[in-house]
Each structure stands twice: as C-alpha cells, then as structure tokens.
Structure 1
C-alpha cells in the first residue's frame, strides 16, 4: 500500500502542477516529462505566442534579399506573397540566443536559390530564444506548435502537402522542428543541425527531435562532447534515420577551445563569446550551407566508430552507396533501415569544407630502405597535393595502403606521382620505385591501376601511368 506521505506528496505535486493554454496552439503543462525530471528539473512553462513574437520571413527566387512576412492567422499575407505551391518549402529555424534575420540564415536561402526554385522561410523567434536557457528550451514547444500551425494553414487553405516541406533546425531549433513534426502527420523531412543536448538528451521522444517526427530525419552532430567538462552543446544521441558525425562529431578542425571556454553556466556561455566558444556547434549549419553548392563533396561512410573510420576500416562505400551529409542526404532516404545508422566523414578546417576521399595501395620495388612514401594524384579536373602513405621499413614486394581526403574531386584519374625520402644521407644512393599503385575513389567501385618499371633516388618524382 502507498503510505500517507507518498499520497500527500503526489497530491501536492498535482496541486502545484501548472498548465497554460493558447488559442489554436493547445495546452502546455509542467508535468513530466516536460519538467520535474532529472533531465528537466525546473518547472518552467513556455511564454505566450505574443511574448515570443515568432515571425515567418519568406524569401524566394523572386525576392532573394528582402523578406515577405507571412502571418498564419492572416491568409491574405500568404496570398499576396511570392509563395508558390508548385515548389518545395524549406523552413530554417535558429537556436538559442540567435535570430531569424542572422546572416547565416539568409546565406543558406541564397545558396538554395542557386540550385533550385524554393520557398525559403526563416523562422524568427529571437525574443523567445534570447532569454535564460531553461526558458528558451521550454519556449521551443510554442514555437514548434506555431510552425505546425503554419503548415496546417498551407495544407488546409492551399492544399499544400506537408510531404513537400523540409524543416532545418539548428541547436534548439532542431527540437522546434521535432515539435512541429510530431504535430504534422506526413511531414517530408527534418534536418537537425547539432540538436542541443541540455534538457533534451535522454528524454522521451515527445520532448525532443526523433525519427518519428518526419518521413525522413537526418542529423549532423558537430559538438557532441559532454557538456561538462568539455562544453559540448550538441547531443551525441542518435535521433534521426541517419546521423552524421563529421570529424568524429566532437572537435571540428579549426575550432580549438581554450581555458576561456571552460565555463559551465549555460546562460553565461553565449553572451559575447558566441562564435568563439560555440565554434563546433555553429559548424553544423556552415557544413549544411556549403553542402548545397557541393552535391558530392560530403560523402559519409557507414562505420562503427570514428576510430575505425580513421583506421581505414570503412572504405569504400558499400553496395548501396554512401549518403551525402547535408542538403542532398534525402537522396539516400530509400536506403534507410529500421535501425538508426551512423556515418562518418572528414571536412576541411575552414571553408571550403568539402572533401573527396581516395584510397591508395602501393606495391614497392627497388632496394630495402627506411623512409617515407608520398603520392599525388593527377586527374581530368585537377590534381592533389602530396599525401603521406607510409613511414617505416620499405621493402621490395611489400604493399602499403592508406586513405586521404582531397580538397577537390580530380575527375578521371590519369596518372600518379610517387616520391620517397628518408632524410638521412646514404652514400650508396639507393633507388626505390612503385611497381603498381591502385587508386579508388570512395564512392566508386572502379579501381584504377598505374604501373612503372623504374626506380628513383630519394626526393625524385616517379610518374606512374595506367597499366
């Protein structure tokens, strides 16, 4: 039997529970799982739609630099706008301490206009995001309901199917997208850009973004280290049909944190240090924006872990191919499985972030020496720099393999240049060569073979041509 004390606590909890209702959006309570749990200890109700002041800013190919404001409760604003029902609609939803007219949001729309005709709607909820973190995390619920309301108006008044809608949410905005998706049956796609961890990781599906929120959910993790002590803002939890972990998902190249960032007050972290402290967190939308203009520059490989990926155990792409992280991930939608899938890739350390992965195997000829081997690839679209393939004892007949990420797709591979050195003066001037070098591009099954019967002294280039 329950004790009197337990029953009293239960009744007190129920009596203290609060709920707030807003016309058209429904009711929001501070009962579990929304509050009063280990993950969400504070009982905080979301603000009213009036206080949050959400705006829907429409950009299209016809008005790429100045927005038109759409108001769900006033369909005439949609009627008078450039919104076109024969196009896809992509909503971009910012996160904590951000705003919908931030330059990155418009830049993302502008990149889309270069490759497609689209309705690009920026969801601006800055009044609701520029507050304490706990309040902003709860305001997500109302903003998500408002996005769902807009989708309902489009569906009801314009027969515009939710299947043509793609929600792109960064940080807290990813969970706004999840809330909107959970209220919108048949929503086409959600892309979560580093969905935020605090108050969301480990919660039930209805609280956060999850794979049931759209027909296809893809997620990019760029700041998945634990919040304490590493100050990782993003979740490491797999929440999509496919989850991408570029560079392992925790430390992005070009983002080196220092002691200044070891602050653990969630509300103090962002003020004045947004770009500096949150560099990893912001990389997710930078990768996505660049992927729009690079349809094949972000191929990601299925792999058990980033360590396995770095150890060259996940190359080349399997028979079903590799998805592209970012804008074109939905081309892989027909190949998703019942299980969440993890994909890994490397990027550059500053834009351009796109990379193309190549695998190389060298069969050595000539003398036995200690040293290092490098190769450069030459193709129809350009050539790579020299990449280290092997260091150690180089023996004739031995084979050495490695993979590297090039800054460009070199097209059809035409020749390979081989170089070796050991940085030690050797009076016998030994010669080493490559009898064969095989090259494979990660996304292709074709293996290219290049041969040479020559050997060269150290620091002398040897050119191999197709066998």
Structure 2
C-alpha cells in the first residue's frame, strides 16, 4: 500500500508540475502546454529576471549612437532619458545567441531616425539567450513578461498608451513579443521576423506569437523549410494577420547552404557560424531594415502559393491593393480580412534587396524565327536592364507575356526598347519587330502601351514610343 501511494503522489506531482514565482512578474510552471508535450518534451522553468538580466536600451533621434538604459526597477530612468511621450515607440527584440547591442539593432534604429521621430528601444536579454536553445525558449516567458511590465509602467505612470507601441521581434524575439502582447491589451502592432519553429510551431496560441497578441500582427518568413533535414530555423505556420513569404519563404537569394547545414544540433550550429549557416534566418531583419528606407520596394502579392506566384498567376494587385512587406505593412491594416492572409514577393540577392515587379506583353511583327525576345523599360527615374520575355518559336501576330522584378522603380514609363536574337547564322538576315508592347506596374495597376511599325535585325535595339491616342493620328 505504501508503494501504491508513493507512486500515486509521484504521478500527481508530475501532472501538477513545478512552479516558480518572481516578484512583480508572477508565476511560471512547467505543465502543459509549456512542457511535457511532443513539441516541448523537456520540463524546464524560465530563469530568474536577475539571471537573464534584461536591459532596455533607448536610442532616439537625439542619441542615435549611444543608448540610455531604462530600468524596470527605477522608472525615474525614463524621466531622465530622451524618451518622448509624444512619439511612437518601437521595441526591437533579438533572438537566440544574440544581443541587444548587436549592429543590426542599432542600424535598424538609425534607419527609423531617417524617416521619423521615434523612441527606439533595443531589448537586450543576451544572458538568457546565450544558453541551450531549450532553456532560451523557456526564458522567452520571463522576457516577454518584462516587456509587458515596461509597457504597464509607461501606461500607468506616464499615461503612455500601448496604442503607440510596436514590438519587432526576430527569431525567439518574435515569441517574446507575442508573450508581451498577450499581456498588454490595446498593443498597436507586433512584427515577427522569421519567428523560430522549434518549441513553438504547432503549440497553442498562449505559447507562441498569434494574431490576438496585438491589433495588427505582420510576419516575415525567410527560413521556413523544415528544421530536419533542411535546417530551417523559422516557422512556416501562419502567425499573423499578414504573413509574408519573400522568395517563397525558404531559400533566400544570396544564401548558400554548406556542409555545416547537415548538423542538426540547434545549440551547436549558431555560435560563430550564424551568418554562414543561418543566412536565410537573418535575412528577415535585413529585409525589414531596408524596407524602412524603401517605402514602395517590397510590394507583396496575395497568392495561394509561391509556385502560383512564379507562374505569373498573382499579378497585378487586386482592387484592395497590395501591402508592403516590412515597416509600412501597417498601412494595409484597415484592409485585412478576418482570415489570415499569405503574400509573396521576390527580393534581390544582396543589398539593395528592394524590387519592383512589372508585367510585360509583346505582340510581334516581321518574320517567323526561333529565338528569344527581351525588353528594357525607360522611365523618368531611370531604366532597367534587358529582361527575357520569351524563348522559342517566334511568329508574327503572336503575343507573349512575362513578369520580372526590376532593381529600381523607373517611374513614369516613357519608352521601351525591344531586342531579339537567336545566335544562328542566317543568310536571309530576318527582321523582327514589336507591333505593340503593354507594360503593367504591379502595385498601382497602371498600364502603358507602346507601338512601332518597324522591324530590326538580330541584336539591334528597337525603340517603341507611346501609342498614339485616338484622334491624334
């Protein structure tokens, strides 16, 4: 009988779990869904606030290079700082094996200062993130609660509304933002930068970032391939009101996998090799940072899949328009539906990442030949390089269409240059032309039409000017 009761008490204790309480933050337990599940099998409690040592590092337009520390234990540090009650506040929260003084956090703040007056706060929890991954994932709960505590102090002590606050979290930091948001009614916005998959994907909403954590939640997915075997750190799960999947969300241009990518020890991969192995994962904050200075360079298109997007089935923007991935996504907030929405776009392989998508249709004239046709756009802001429109059998009267992502916004399109070739010796010197070229700008659905009656030989440029309007002939 004694053995029976001993086993019973042990099982009851396991079911109830352990709990730890921290002054001002409340209590944290290791019962489901926080632990003891297939997704979170290890029973770990978050570390104490003292051990994590979360710091709030304030940068403003007045002190862009040197931070001021805001202390939860001493709210007077807020009054003594450059914190402006009449400005928006954006918190930037780093992830696993990272730190709040990291260059990318400061760079992101500095980009903000170029376009707005803002309180930019780096949340540094490096002591809680530079440990085993599973422990860091549990420390998220304390850090998120501390961010919520800071928002509560701003609200109660200084009447600073959460409606003026935007939390930006990368990797584990995205789920820190989710934890803070779930504890802060009326929070304006959360941006998740490639929220991490391990220990979070597939969990209940209270564990991870979800759309209920703020009035507007936008998410950028850049490393959403499965962790095993592809070593994708980010989550593919829809976590926001708007979920953006640049370049399909798994493999970013300019990122190459290497032999270390076969290692599946998530704790061992990061240290010292993160820029090499975690390139896709880090692209999310690089895209966001650049988007601050490029308000129309990350237009994203609603689509069912990246395959459909690449097949030119999601262009141009629908009547309700397209959002901008990144800093200006909240301009689309009033047009979100109750259903979570998925958006796609392409980026460059290195800075500058911004791209502008154009749709081009070419109606041909001249001879029947086999070859390829290319088009370049010329506008009042610049011109593009030559882009392939079609390769194959070219017949007069046929129309071929394609879409491409240009490195710049050419502005108002003033002319188009047409080129064809087949790199075959042809003694008849065939001539080919474009009777009409129609160009669509993706984001505003502007349509331009260009005409020509001329034909040209291979590798000779043909310039098309705007088609005459009726009554001008």
Deviations 1:204-256 (A, max 9, x none): 00000000000000000000000000000000000000000000000000001
Give the Å deviation of 1:446.
1.9
Deviations 1:51-79 (A, max 9, x none): 00000000000111110000122111001
Q: Partner of 1:338 in structure 2?
A: 338
Give the Å deviation of 1:10.
4.5
Give the Å deviation of 1:7.
6.7
For the pair 1:60 / 2:60, whether they are aligned, the reply is yes
Normalised TM-score (structure 2): 0.97
- Measure, in 1, the Cα distance between the counterparts of 2:295 and 2:213: 25
Q: Partner of 1:413 in structure 2?
A: 413
**Superposition pairs of residues 44-443 of structure 1, within 5 angstroms:** 44-443=44-443
Structure 1: runs of 5 or more not aligned? none
After superposing the two structures, state which structure 1 stretch, 439-448 or 37-46, moved more: 439-448
User: What's the secondary structure of 1:284's corresponding residue?
Assistant: helix
User: What's the secondary structure of 2:333's corresponding residue?
Assistant: helix
- Measure, in 1, the Cα distance between the counterparts of 2:432 and 2:258: 45
Q: How many residues align?
A: 463
Give the Å deviation of 1:445.
2.3
Q: Partner of 2:471 in structure 1?
A: none
Deviations 1:295-331 (A, max 9, x none): 0000000000000000000000001110000000000
Give the Å deviation of 1:394.
0.3
- Measure, in 2, the Cα distance between the counterparts of 1:241 and 1:228: 27
After superposing the two structures, state which structure 1 stretch, 252-261 or 279-288, moved more: 252-261
Q: Partner of 1:21 in structure 2?
A: 21
Q: Partner of 1:460 in structure 2?
A: 460
Give the Å deviation of 1:258.
1.7
Structure 2: runs of 5 or more not aligned? 468-473
User: What's the secondary structure of 1:416's corresponding residue?
Assistant: strand
After superposing the two structures, state which structure 1 stretch, 440-449 or 428-437, moved more: 440-449
Q: Partner of 1:11 in structure 2?
A: 12
For the Cα contact (< 8 Å) 2:196–2:234, is it kept in 1? yes
- Measure, in 2, the Cα distance between the counterparts of 1:223 and 1:59: 29
User: What's the secondary structure of 2:76's corresponding residue?
Assistant: helix
State the Cα RMSD in Å. 1.2
- Measure, in 2, the Cα distance between the counterparts of 1:28 and 1:71: 22
- Measure, in 1, the Cα distance between the counterparts of 2:358 and 2:172: 36
Give the Å deviation of 1:260.
2.1
CA shift in 2, pair 1:394/1:7, >3 Å: farther
User: What's the secondary structure of 2:307's corresponding residue?
Assistant: helix
- Measure, in 1, the Cα distance between the counterparts of 2:341 and 2:182: 21
For the Cα contact (< 8 Å) 2:260–2:269, is it kept in 1? no
Normalised TM-score (structure 1): 0.98
Give the Å deviation of 1:8.
6.9
User: What's the secondary structure of 1:144's corresponding residue?
Assistant: helix
Give the Å deviation of 1:433.
0.3
User: What's the secondary structure of 2:206's corresponding residue?
Assistant: helix
